[in-house]
Amino acid sequence: MNHTAAGPTDPPDRVDSRLINRRRFMERGIFALFGGLAAILGLPIVRYVLSPIFGIKEDLALSTQWAPVAPLSEMEKVEDIPKTFHVPYRIFEGWRYRDVSRPVFAVKEGGELVLFSAYCTHLGCPTFWDLPRGTIVCPCHGGLYNNLGQVVGGPPPRDLPRLVYKVENDVVYLKSPAEG
């Protein structure tokens, strides 16, 4: 007896090319699932890796921003006692921009307007002008500065940093308020 039976591994005589078997269906399904997952997870990773390249324009624009401080007429009233101004600016946090303000001191030194940071150089705490003492005081660790932002006592390692400003259209603008 020499007969051969068609086994399960033998291809049928006629196969419809549009039909898909269970194994091929599972392969394609898993491939699609992992491909979609890779795209969802991969895009943020690629954006993170390439962000320095594409973020140069944004960083340059932010680094050259000028924020309005006050009208020139108000700045002309400033004398040798520091006056606090709150400068609005925009920062980029994570995926969004946030509008914040930063305090700066304005004072006249020899008739010239001087703007300097209101954050202590010790640990970055906000400072304030204490009129009875005649000094700028940092409440965190007792740092003391004179009216021109120079250290006169306490732990601050250096004077309050002076800030770059310009006058345009009778308004005083501060350069890069997020720095310093």
Distance CA 29, CA 39 (A): 15
* 156: containing domain: 66-175
Q: Does some domain include residue 94?
A: yes
**Do 71 and 47 have their domain in common?**
no
pLDDT at res. 46:
83
pTM of the model: 0.61
Pairing of strands 112-117, 96-109: antiparallel
Residue in the block written with tokens 């700028």: 136
Q: Helix (H, G, I), strand (E, B), or coil: what is residue 126?
A: strand
**Do 34 and 100 have their domain in common?**
no
Q: Does some domain include residue 112?
A: yes
Distance CA 174, CA 118 (A): 14
Q: Does some domain include residue 61?
A: no
Q: Does some domain include residue 12?
A: no
Single-letter code of the amino acid located at 142: G
Sequence-distant (≥ 6) Cβ neighbours of residue 67 within 8 angstroms: 87, 88, 89, 173, 174, 177
Q: Which of 54, 81, 97 is the last residue of a domain?
A: 54
pLDDT tens-digit profile, the chain (180 residues): 555 555 555 555 565 666 778 888 899 999 999 999 988 988 888 877 877 666 655 554 455 578 888 888 888 888 888 999 998 877 777 777 788 888 999 999 888 889 998 999 888 889 999 888 889 999 988 899 999 889 998 898 999 999 888 888 888 888 865 554
**Do 128 and 44 have their domain in common?**
no
Distance CA 146, CA 156 (A): 12
**Do 77 and 134 have their domain in common?**
yes
**Do 75 and 164 have their domain in common?**
yes
**Do 128 and 70 have their domain in common?**
yes
Q: Does some domain include residue 171?
A: yes
* Domains identified in the chain, total number: 2
pLDDT at res. 8:
55
Q: Does some domain include residue 2?
A: no
